[in-house]
Structure 1
Amino acid sequence: MEILQNFHPETLLNTLICLIAAFFLGALIGLERQYRQRNAGLRTNVLVSVGAAVFVDLANRLGSHEAAVHVIAYVVYGVGFLGAGTIMKEGADVRGLNTAATLWGSAAVGACAGASLLAEAILAAFFVLSANTLLRPAVNWINRKPIDEKSSEMTYVLCAVAPREEQKAALATVEALLEGHHYPVADLDVQPFGDDGIEITATLLATSVDSAELDDIVAHLVAKSYIEQAYWNSSASD
């Protein structure tokens, strides 16, 4: 029977050790994510790590190291799709990039374990954990620093609300004011606002936007009888 022919206690023990290592190292990474209430927490990181280890170990047993290398490439590709599911866009902000990168790191840890490179798997887990913990104080310190609008890439969003019947005039005014200040529009969107209104959202990508000029644009918009309200906000882009 092929099942009995493929049963080798020593090989099975090696697989068991690899999967145990992938399980516990993935759990270490996942515990930090779970503690911080991230979308991909303890179970997700463990499953990614163990899954990667199983695929790589299977390729090693059925093929060779060369086959395992090909499988690792597919694991990286597959985890990329999994990580994409954790990324969400909220207005001008993008959330979940760190979670997706952590899943990628968990897969790398599992791949090392599955390839019987336990020391490398431990090192990889250490650096993934370090990135999520030791670097956090530095990130918080940088985030608390005032943003230099001249040197930082920012996303600026200008919004104007007008009655639905005045959409054409309001849209033309927004475009004319931005063009007059030489601010190229990356995206211009019109959405319903309330029962009979519309909201115009102009997204600007620039490194030299002057806050005072945007305030001036808003003041000109509000002065128009067909503009009910106008405002702008900004956020740092990756």
Structure 2
Amino acid sequence: MTVWDRPEPPTRPVPLDRERIVAAAIALADEGGLEAVSLRKVAARLEVGPMRLYGYISTKEELFDLMVDEVHAEILPEERPGEWREALGLLAHRTRLAALRHEWLADLLGGRPSLGPNALAVGEATLAALDGLADIDTVMRAVETVNAYSTGAIRREIANVRAERATGLSKRDWQRASGPYLTRMLATGRYPALAKAVYDGTEVTAEESFATGLNWVLDTVAANLDRSSA
């Protein structure tokens, strides 16, 4: 029986339910990452004994599933755009913003599908946006492609955010510190393609990079949908 099927215990003298447990776990994860989350620490945050939680959640993995599903409620837009490209783009951007609010989400994206009601609603909205445009196998590959890009780009961005926090160096500070070494290496002439990228490339924000890459992926999806329907 999954955590979604298992009923909650009856109310006891100290009010407790899965909603409160998940909210406390998310607060801990937002503060210190997934390593800061344990049933013992969540119980301490709620000022109850750890054994009380086992009536609601059996394992830490179940707790993570509930946390991910709760954040999926932030991803699902109130109104679904009518055009498939806008719908998939909106969901990808909302996933990125949710991960920036809850950095730990990046560590849990890309694994087995989440089966909570909010995650299922996001999945339904994603597939519904493409419904009727191609056969189901083509639609599934399109969704997988967009999700793979979004997950990889989000994880890279979060990794950079964490690196800045761990080192205390902003991106600009890191570039200044690394500049002399990189300049010497590029001056050897062994890395002409890298030199062109460094000296001639346009620097963009993480948001701009994500949006550009997403548009290229959606262009590819559109081309394959057109071929499939031809």
Q: TM-score, normalised by structure 1?
A: 0.28
More helix by percentage? 2
Q: Which has the larger radius of gyration?
A: 1
More strand by percentage? 1
